[in-house]
Chain A
Amino acid sequence: MGPQLLGTTLESTAHVPISNWPAVPGQAVPAGYGLLGLPAAVAEHGHGWRLVSGTMTNRSSIGWQQVRHSLLVTHVAPDKTGTRIHADYRLVGEDGAVAETGTAVFASDDEHPADAATVLRFATPEWGQAILPQLEASEAFRSAVQAYDGTIGIAGNGAEVHFRIYKGKVIEIGRRALKGSDFTVSASGTTWCQLILGERNDFMDRALKGEFSTTGSGYEYLRMTKGLVLIIDAARAAARTGGEAAK
């Protein structure tokens, strides 16, 4: 059974008034701001989620206004008491303009095993392990990285995974390789969700649109263009098959 929550957009139907607290990007948003409307927004869809934390990443306007909430679920993982749900949120004004974007984490008492599958926890070490069978089954990937001795990092949703590769084989997957990555490719949870669950592998389209950022060696990043495309191909295939490599 495929994911029900991951990649789903939850939108509130009504605009609600908020006061625009003068927070700065990257700071935790104080109580009393529009984030408090998020639980009510998801409750409209029958979810009794509790807001754990929220972080604003961009705000375009200041002042009192009416907004509607829109959330895209980007990451679902089990925790001790239920499930943690990560979402990218947007506050949309009455004129349709996006007033604010950010990320939010919710706690849920319900279990969501399909959404919490490791093949869908993008950019985590578990995800790396889950897509490994697809990479090992890919002759194209082996050929693309046969002259590579290094580490590729992939990051998003606050997680990062390093793939250590040597002569065409992934020899280690972990949170951090001993010498770090040659380069790390990062994107928002929304981008990873849409890329992995979307109709086609549009990594390069999104890269050209600036949805990805890279740190580390730009040269190695360019050199591994095909390798990255094939890692994403593997991740997309794993998301559809539950991690089983095609025979």
Chain B
Amino acid sequence: MTDFTGRYIQVQGIRSFIEDWGSGQPILCIHTAGQSGVQYRRAAPALAALGYRVIVPDLPGHGRTEPHPDGAVTDLGVYAQWCVDMLGELGIVQPIVVGCSIGGKITLDIAARLGRRLHAGIAMAASAAPGRVNVNGLRRELEDVSAPSRSDRTYYGTRAVVGSSLTEEQRDLIALMHCREDPTVSNSDLIGWGTHDLRPVLAQIAAPLHLVLGSDDLWVTRDLAESTVAAVTGAELTYLDGVGHYPMEEMPDFADFVHDWLVANRLSTVSREAHVGNAI
């Protein structure tokens, strides 16, 4: 089975944790609000087995990465620049970037920042417009006294937005894993989700862009995803039936899904046959 190297690197002066899987064409995988790279624990080795080098970071304040020196981040642009700088620290050029939810918005942001220096972007469960959340309520809940039953709400709220094709056990596992969040970091991420507006910079995106949206995703509407795709030349949208807000955790064939899109668009330099021996 393909294995990974876990290590700490300095990014913007922050001691930052990354998983580094396999070797080959580089793919950066960005997690969702309040979560960590553990969300790609099944997808990353599968992508590596296909012949990619997969970088899975914990964003500042998440998982094993130390907090941002300015405190919990409410501007997703801060994460986007951190990702760009992290890739620079690793000497990675022309990356493929995959992200989900806030990670999807960060993917769009990175695509706008890097222009032609990005090889391709796959933004899942996200659109360019600010996400629909109660930002004022989230700001209030940054005070602990205003944030009751946090674990219950994360548990039930996560279960509500995974796909209908999953079993109860799969739904439960995803929800339980998501309860490992830091509430202040999660809320701050969601404030970023509700305020980060990428519509003005979509024209700067020059790399091939693939938006992915599940039919059971209650956080993002199809209209919003379609309007984002319409604003980016050559971008495409895939609508996944029975999938919710977390495709990389829900789809057993997620790695193939990514690889097939890259191959179909002549964006993959990986030969599936050449690397099949890396699989289990």
> A-side interface residues toward B, CB under 8 Å?
202-205, 207-209, 219-220, 222-226, 229
Q: Are B149 and A208 in contact (CB under 8 A)?
A: no
Closest to A208 in B: B218
A118 vs B264: C-alpha distance in the bound complex, in angstroms? 58
Among residues 136 to 179 in chain B, which have CB atoms less than 8 Å away from a CB atom of chain A? 146-149, 152-153, 156-157, 159-161
* A223 / chain B contacts, CB cutoff of 8 Å: 148-149
A-B CB contact pairs (8 Å), 19 listed: A202-B160, A203-B156, A204-B157, A204-B159, A204-B160, A205-B161, A207-B160, A208-B157, A208-B218, A219-B146, A223-B149, A224-B149, A225-B149, A225-B152, A225-B156, A226-B152, A226-B156, A229-B152, A229-B156
Q: Are B153 and A222 in contact (CB under 8 A)?
A: yes
Q: Are A204 and B148 in contact (CB under 8 A)?
A: no
* B161 / chain A contacts, CB cutoff of 8 Å: 205, 208
* A208 / chain B contacts, CB cutoff of 8 Å: 157, 160-161, 218
Q: Are A205 and B218 in contact (CB under 8 A)?
A: yes
Consensus secondary structure, chain A interface: helix
Most chain B beta-carbon contacts within 10 A, residue among A202, A208, A209: A208
Name 14 extra pairs, CB < 8 A, besides A225-B156, A229-B152: A204-B156, A204-B157, A207-B160, A209-B218, A219-B146, A220-B148, A222-B147, A222-B148, A222-B149, A222-B153, A223-B148, A224-B149, A225-B152, A226-B156
A222 vs B148: C-alpha distance in the bound complex, in angstroms? 6
Q: Are B156 and A219 in contact (CB under 8 A)?
A: no
A205 vs B149: C-alpha distance in the bound complex, in angstroms? 17
Top 9 closest pairs, chain A to chain B, by CB: A223-B148, A204-B160, A205-B160, A226-B152, A204-B156, A225-B152, A208-B218, A225-B149, A222-B148
* B148 / chain A contacts, CB cutoff of 8 Å: 219-220, 222-223
A222 vs B159: C-alpha distance in the bound complex, in angstroms? 16
A203 vs B218: C-alpha distance in the bound complex, in angstroms? 13
Closest chain-B Cβ to A69's Cβ sits at a distance in Å of 29
Closest chain-A Cβ to B103's Cβ sits at a distance in Å of 20
A202 vs B159: C-alpha distance in the bound complex, in angstroms? 9
Closest to B219 in A: A208
Closest chain-B Cβ to A220's Cβ sits at a distance in Å of 8
* B160 / chain A contacts, CB cutoff of 8 Å: 202, 204-205, 207-208
A223 vs B156: C-alpha distance in the bound complex, in angstroms? 13
Closest chain-B Cβ to A187's Cβ sits at a distance in Å of 15
* B218 / chain A contacts, CB cutoff of 8 Å: 205, 208-209
Q: Are B149 and A226 in contact (CB under 8 A)?
A: yes
Closest chain-A Cβ to B244's Cβ sits at a distance in Å of 10
Closest chain-B Cβ to A100's Cβ sits at a distance in Å of 24
A149 vs B160: C-alpha distance in the bound complex, in angstroms? 28
A223 vs B147: C-alpha distance in the bound complex, in angstroms? 8
* A219 / chain B contacts, CB cutoff of 8 Å: 146, 148
Closest chain-A Cβ to B219's Cβ sits at a distance in Å of 8
A112 vs B232: C-alpha distance in the bound complex, in angstroms? 58
* B149 / chain A contacts, CB cutoff of 8 Å: 222-226
* A226 / chain B contacts, CB cutoff of 8 Å: 149, 152, 156
A207 vs B147: C-alpha distance in the bound complex, in angstroms? 18
A209 vs B132: C-alpha distance in the bound complex, in angstroms? 11
